[in-house]
Amino acid sequence: MDLLTPSDAERLHPSGLIYLANVMRPKQDIGRWSQALRQWRPPRTPLRVHLENNSLDEHDAAEILQAIGGDVQAGYLHHNNIRSLEPLTPFIEQHWETLKELHLSHNRLSTTETKALLLLLGCTKVSAAGAETAGSCSWLRLEFNHIDVDGLLEQLPSQIKNRLQLGDRGCTPRHCCCQGRRYTKHIHCKFLTEQRTIMPEHKIHHRDQRREPAPSRSRCQDDEETQDNPKTVT
């Protein structure tokens, strides 16, 4: 059974690029792509998964992400309709050691959800041999959600708060040029302070009933986030 057209199949690239931005308008596309991803044999290289601009909620995004074998290095989920982290937690836990970048700007995350995300990404784990490891996330985009940034920073444990780099020091997802980078593994969250209206948790869920119009495709501040364009798929 051919789930994918030849041009669809090109979106799953041997280089590790999975380019599914802007393709999942109708709901049935989610089932089709998650089935196709389950059948796809991923390359051994780290995967970069583009799911931006699809109006996905957290359950849709989780369904797609969970279908991907291989090690995910970057998840591009910006410009979707993600309000809750819980469905995405198994994915984040599974790829905790390889996931360097997570792009979640222009979604509907609340302060509480963001705190849970940072606790998950910023925690340390102790291996069976007793060695302490930190998650590898160093690039997190969270602007234009519903986050009360001051409230968030107040609630975070200092060991995570101290790792956050909110300013733009010229770092990129692949290179940190912060002072003290040898001692502190930064989690870069530039533009975090730019948020939509802060709303109480229940209101965010309520708004879910009437879906907002599809997000605009303006490039605004997503330059880095959109650097992999379909032309990279050859």
Q: 41 or 182, CB closer to Zn ion?
A: 182
In this chain, which of 12, 147, 156, 171 binds Zn ion, going by CB under 5 A?
Answer: 171
# binding residues, Zn ion (CB under 5 A): 4
The order of strands in the sheet holding 17-19 is 17-19, 47-50, 72-76, 101-103, 139-141, 187-188, 164-165
Q: CB within 8 A of 145, min separation 6: which ones?
A: 104, 105, 106, 107, 108, 109, 110, 114, 195, 196
Q: 60 or 228, CB closer to Zn ion?
A: 60
Q: 78 or 186, CB closer to Zn ion?
A: 186
| Residue 70 CB, nearest approach to Zn ion (Å) | 27
Cα 80 from Cα 105, distance rounded (Å): 8
Q: Which CA distances in Å does 103 have to 1, 223, 234? A: 33, 12, 24
In this chain, which of 176, 189, 192, 204 binds Zn ion, going by CB under 5 A?
Answer: 176
| Residue 172 CB, nearest approach to Zn ion (Å) | 9
Single-letter amino acid code for the residue at 190:
K
Tell me how far apart the terminal alpha carbons of the chain are, to the nearest angstrom: 24
In this chain, which of 61, 186, 190, 226 binds Zn ion, going by CB under 5 A?
Answer: 186
| Residue 55 CB, nearest approach to Zn ion (Å) | 15
| 178 near Zn ion, rule: CB under 5 A | yes
Cα 33 from Cα 108, distance rounded (Å): 24
| Residue 138 CB, nearest approach to Zn ion (Å) | 8
What's the token pair of residue 49?
Answer: 């998964």
Q: 149 or 176, CB closer to Zn ion?
A: 176
| Residue 47 CB, nearest approach to Zn ion (Å) | 23
Which residues lie near Zn ion (CB under 5 A)? 171, 176, 178, 186
